[in-house]
C-alpha cells in the first residue's frame, strides 16, 4: 500500500500530539521530535488544521483504532529512544541538540553553533531521518494490521484531538487493556 507523504506526515504529527496527553514520552525529547516534524511538514499540515471533520466511528472501528494507536505509541516510544541514543552516540547532548533545532526554527534565537556541532548535527539529522522512515513504515503496517487505512486512522486521530469524549473513551479502553 502506498500512502501519500502528506498523509504520513500529518499522521505522524497527529500521533505525536495525541501521545502528549498520555504523558508516555519524555517531554524534552518529544519536543525535539515535534519540532523536527513540524519543520519538515508544516506546509502539509496547514490545510488540515482547524475544525476536525465530523467523523462517525463505530465501536468496532474505534476498537481497531485503539489497538493500532497502542502499537503506534509503542513504535513511537522505541523510535524516541533510538533517536536519543543516536544523538548521544554522535557525541551530542540531547538538550543541546534540541536547543540548536529550536534556534534553526526561530530566527530571533541564537544557538552559537560551533563548526563541530554543525558537522554533528548534519550527521545526526541524516541518521534520525532513517529512524523516522523505518518507524513510519512500522506504523503503517500496524495500522493496516489493525484493519484500518492510514487515511481512516488519520481521520479518527484528527477527530480525537478535538473531541474530549473520544479522548476519554480511548483512555478507558487503553487502561482496561493495560
- The answer to whether residue 49 is domain-embedded is no
Res. 6: pLDDT tops 60: no
Question: With bands split at pLDDT 50, 70 and 90, how would you rate the model's confidence at 74?
Answer: very high
| 100-125 tens-digit pLDDT | 988 888 878 777 889 999 999 999 99
- The answer to whether residue 52 is domain-embedded is no
The total domain count for the chain is 1
Res. 77: pLDDT tops 60: yes
Q: Which residue has the higher pLDDT, 118 or 32?
A: 118
Structure confidence at residue 40 (pLDDT): 44
Domain extent at residue 127:
5-36+58-177
- The answer to whether residue 53 is domain-embedded is no
Q: Which residue has the higher pLDDT, 78 or 29?
A: 78
- The answer to whether residue 101 is domain-embedded is yes
Structure confidence at residue 107 (pLDDT): 78
Question: With bands split at pLDDT 50, 70 and 90, how would you rate the model's confidence at 36?
Answer: low
If you search the block for the grid coordinates 504520513, which residue do you land on?
8
pTM: 0.66
Mean pLDDT in residue range 91-98: 92
Question: With bands split at pLDDT 50, 70 and 90, how would you rate the model's confidence at 9?
Answer: very low
Mean pLDDT in residue range 119-143: 95
Question: Would you list the DSSP string of the chain?
Answer: ----HHHHHHHHHHHHHHHHTTT-S-HHHHHHHHHHHHHHHHHHHGGG-SSPP-----HHHHHHHHHHHHHHHHHHHHHHHHHHHHHHHTT--HHHHHHHHHHHH-TT------HHHHHHHHHHHHHHHHHHHHHHHHHHHHHHHTT--HHHHHHHHHHHHH-HHHHHHHHHHHHHH-
- The answer to whether residue 46 is domain-embedded is no
Structure confidence at residue 134 (pLDDT): 96
Res. 53: pLDDT tops 60: no
Amino acid at each position: 500500500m502506498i500512502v501519500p507523504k502528506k498523509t504520513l506526515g500529518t499522521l505522524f504529527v497527529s500521533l505525536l500530539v495525541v501521545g502528549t496527553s498520555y504523558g508516555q514520552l519524555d517531554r524534552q525529547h518529544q519536543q525535539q521530535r515535534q519540532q523536527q516534524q513540524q519543520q519538515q511538514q508544516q506546509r502539509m499540515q496547514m490545510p488540515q488544521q482547524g475544525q476536525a471533520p465530523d467523523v462517525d466511528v463505530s465501536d468496532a472501528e474505534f476498537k481497531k483504532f485503539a489497538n493500532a494507536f497502542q502499537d503506534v505509541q509503542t513504535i513511537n516510544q522505541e523510535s524516541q529512544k533510538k533517536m536519543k541514543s543516536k544523538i548521544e552516540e554522535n557525541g551530542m547532548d540531547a538538550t543541546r541538540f534540541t536547543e540548536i533545532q529550536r534556534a534553526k526554527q526561530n530566527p530571533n534565537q541564537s544557538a552559537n553553533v560551533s563548526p563541530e556541532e554543525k558537522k554533528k548535527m548534519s550527521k545526526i539529522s541524516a541518521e534520525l531521518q532513517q529512524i523516522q522512515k523505518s518507524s513510519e513504515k512500522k506504523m503503517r503496517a500496524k495500522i493496516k494490521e489493525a484493519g484500518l487505512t492510514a487515511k481512516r486512522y488519520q481521520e479518527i486521530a484528527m477527530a480525537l484531538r478535538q473531541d474530549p469524549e473520544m479522548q476519554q473513551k480511548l483512555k478507558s479502553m487503553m487502561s482496561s487493556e493495560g
